[in-house]
Structure formats: C-alpha cells, structure tokens
Amino acid sequence: MVKHTIFDSPLGLLTAVQNDAGLAAVYMAEHRRRPAQETLGERVAGSASRVLAATLVQLGEYFAGSRKKFSIPLAPAGNPFQHRVWAALSQIPYGEVLTYGDLAAMLGDRSMAQAVGSANGRNPISIIVPCHRVVGADGSLVGYAGGLERKQFLLELEKPARTHTEALF
C-alpha cells in the first residue's frame, strides 16, 4: 500500500512516499518530475509506519549535521540501469562530490556520462540517495530536480566534512 507524509525541513516541505517494500521517494515541493498527488497514496502522519518515522528522524539528524549515512529500506521504482546509477550514488561518501563522468566510470564506461546524468535526474529519493553530490565536469553545479539553490544548500551542509578531510592531507 502506498502512503505518504509531508513534513517541513530546511529545504521547505518534503514529501516522503512509502510502498510495501520501503521508502519509494522523497520529493521537494517544486521537484521536477514530481508525480501527481493522487499517485502518492493516502496521506498519513509521519509516525504511521516505521519507514516513514525513520525517514523523518534520519533526515532531521542529517539536517542537524549528526547523520552522514542513512539506514532506511529503499524501494524506488526504476529500470535496471537507473537502479545501478542510484546504487552508485549511494556509494559517494558524505561531503564528497563526483562528476557525471566519474560516476559513469564507476559503472564501467565513462562515455555513459549523459545516460548517468539522465538516471541521476530521475532519482526519486532525494537527499537519501545523494544525487546532489554529482557536479558538472568543470565542478559547476548543474541539474538538480529540487533546484540548484537546494543542491548548493546540501553541499554547503556537507562542506565541513570536505574542508576537514582536505585539511588532513
């Protein structure tokens, strides 16, 4: 059964969607490719299920700076290639960024950068599957379904980790 909850965050309202297998989506209010509201199932309280409750708690910890990895069962809808890209995204450490070419190389073929970018843009589980950690070949902020200002916010939130790591070496 599909159900969703809506909650406030530093990025504005977020909608978490759960299906029978786990967390299916986290959408921002102005999310590109956000599905129609009626496809999100019944609206419930965030405490209505373990998955939704864990999503709210873990995102709250992430925004507070105390969580760097998520431990929520994920169940996004997508084709096999998209799932490979989303799994690769989940391997990008907190505070680090990769280019689309780097991500394509992780998947075995740097020339797939454009296809990787397309799959990245269709990631339905924003923040938790960290598509915001992918930047253009020149390091510029490009393509984020929630808007570049939100991508910048998320990268700035994680910046202390990058600064600290760079200072160590």
User: Can you give the pTM of this predicted structure?
Assistant: 0.90
49-93 tens-digit pLDDT:
999 999 999 999 999 999 999 999 999 999 999 999 999 999 999
Is there a single domain that holds both residue 99 and residue 157?
yes
Percent of the chain with pLDDT over 90: 78
Structural domain that includes position 141: 80-168
pLDDT at 104 over 80: yes
5, 31, 118, 155, 158 from 132: Cα distances, Å: 22, 13, 14, 7, 11
Confidence of residue 10 (pLDDT cuts 50, 70, 90): very high
Least confident of 39-43, 54-58, 152-156, 161-165: 161-165
Residue 15 belongs to a domain: yes
**CA 137 distance to own-chain centroid:** 20
Residue 73 belongs to a domain: no
pLDDT at 8 over 60: yes
d(CA 118, CA 18): 23
Confidence of residue 161 (pLDDT cuts 50, 70, 90): low
Number of domains in the chain: 2
Residue 74 belongs to a domain: no
20-48 tens-digit pLDDT:
999 999 999 888 888 888 889 999 998 88
DSSP state of 33: T
Is there a single domain that holds both residue 58 and residue 90?
no
Do 77 and 18 touch, CB atoms closer than 8 A?
Answer: no
Residue 113 belongs to a domain: yes
Report the pLDDT value the prediction gives residue 164, as an integer from 0 to 100.
47
Catalytic residues: 131
Report the pLDDT value the prediction gives residue 40, as an integer from 0 to 100.
92
The whole-chain average pLDDT of the chain stands at 91
